[in-house]
Chain A
Amino acid sequence: EDQVTQSPEALRLQEGESSSLNCSYTVSGLRGLFWYRQDPGKGPEFLFTLYSAGEEKEKERLKATLTKKESFLHITAPKPEDSATYLCAVRDSWGKLQFGAGTQVVVTP
């Protein structure tokens, strides 16, 4: 059965303190791993799509990497505006997204 697990559940960072979020998955035939950012009461905002092990993508202070079993979202020198819940999802064989529970990140000045 396809499964997505995110850790940690919550992360509190000082401004400028870099860290990484983990997304481990089990899926028969990866058809894409997706990272989203979600602010309270709003829809998820697309960040990255990764398709194959070794792939990396970067956007401002965020960098996503992918291995055969997990993905990392690295946040470099975060700012308070990076505070959000970060969701990881994999596309299963039916084309549906299986979401992890999310990591809530709070960045304090």
Chain B
Amino acid sequence: DTEVTQTPKHLVMGMTNKKSLKCEQHMGHRAMYWYKQKAKKPPELMFVYSYEKLSINESVPSRFSPECPNSSLLNLHLHALQPEDSALYLCASSQGMEEGTQYFGPGTRLTVL
């Protein structure tokens, strides 16, 4: 089973709201990722967690706050977002940062009003 699940599927939020995106995998993978994808562009890496520790932050604004509560779960907390943050947010996981294939979840379509 190579399934990564994400909730919610769709999210609409105002610029003053606080919301969270959730991601889960049960493949025993030790690396988990958040990507942002705009229309007709490839996924753009935001954060990488390796063994539940933040390994890479691609200079993402602080209004995005990642959290890895355990090896199977990854959250992305959102606060005071801008309309330009509207995008498809993808979670992925792999055996390790430098090994294995990254498997992606179905994504959360985020709209910021």
Contact = CB atoms under 8 A, between A and B. Distances in A.
Nearest to A95: B97
Interface residues of B, number: 23
A42 B101 contact: no
B48 interface: yes
B42 A41 contact: no
Interface of A: 31-32, 34, 36, 41-46, 49, 87, 89, 91, 94-97, 99-102
Contact of B45 (A45, A87, A97): A97
Contact of B106 (A31, A32, A42): A42
Nearest to B50: A95
Interface of B: 2, 4, 6, 31, 41-43, 45, 48, 56, 88, 90, 96-98, 101-107, 109
Q: Classify the interface of chain A: helix, strand, loop or mixed.
A: loop
B106 A46 contact: no
A22 to B, nearest CB: 16
B45 A96 contact: yes
Given A41-B109, A94-B56, A99 B103 contact: no
Given A43-B107, A87-B42, A97 B90 contact: no
Contact of B43 (A31, A41, A95, A99): A99
B88 A101 contact: no
A106 B6 CA distance: 28
A95 B56 CA distance: 10
A64 to B, nearest CB: 13
